[in-house]
Amino acid sequence: MAGLDVDRVAQIVTGEDGKPGLRGSGYLVRRRTVLTAAHVVAPDARVRVRFVADDGTARMEPGQVVFHEEAVDVAVVRLDAGPEVEPVRYGGIPEPSPVEAVGFPRFRLHRGRDADGREVVFRDTRHARGTAAPASWRREGGLEIIVDPPAPDPDRSRSAWEGMSGAAIWSVGHLVGVVSEHRLGDALDTLTGSRVDRWYTELEYKRVNLTRP
């Protein structure tokens, strides 16, 4: 298994058609099962999940939130349908290591035209690559990653990284966490993730199984 597969990167869309809602990122970890951040979705909510193909076309799949745990900021969306895919492998990061994540942040807001020539606004992907700093946030249990920064958002009350939450963090072929937030007190090159090894220690009493149907 090669690790990150961009065809399995997902955008999480909440709210009804034509109405504002939250936007986040996610990853298809096995057939019909998308991993994301809990703060992006509401428990038991119906959401839409968008996948973008290599030619730029997008498809939208409906899904339902079937697992939601704020303690580690992790949620699982079960799609109504989906292709067969090989389950991902999970791991931890005991020392500084290279990492990567693909998501749909606010600073990638883009204007373009659809197939009918109508103007549309959408968020494109950012492939963030950098280094994990696992000794940071030791007490809280977060995973700090350092990546190339975007420019600051014109609205200083918001982060340019909004919408990156839920993106799967990969290291050496293993999914090691999901992006949780960019803290406004941190530099723009710093993101905080929820780390896989903490899921199993903090949620042992109600562990969600992501490797079986």
**Torsion angle, alpha carbons of 196, 198, 202, 206, to 10:** 10
Nearest to 196 by CA among 177, 174, 170, 168: 177
Rounded to the nearest integer, the mean pLDDT of the chain is 89
Q: Is the pLDDT of residue 166 over 80?
A: yes
pLDDT of residue 119: 74
Check residue 90 and report its DSSP letter: B
Backbone torsions φ then ψ of 136, nearest 5 degrees: -75, 155
* Locus of tokens 């193909």: 53
Query: What domains, with CATH codes, occur in the chain?
Result: 6-87 (2.40.10.10), 97-200 (2.40.10)
Q: Is the pLDDT of residue 129 over 70?
A: yes
- Kindly state the greatest CA–CA separation across the chain: 52
Average the pLDDT over each of 42-51, 95-104, 152-161 and give the range with the smallest value.
152-161
pLDDT of residue 213: 42
Which pLDDT band holds residue 20 (cuts at 50, 70, 90)? Answer: low
Quick: pLDDT tens for 34-87: 999 999 999 999 999 999 999 888 899 999 999 999 999 999 999 998 888 999
pLDDT of residue 208: 53
* Locus of tokens 């220690």: 201
Q: Is the pLDDT of residue 111 over 50?
A: yes
pLDDT of residue 122: 86
The average pLDDT across 150-164 equals 90
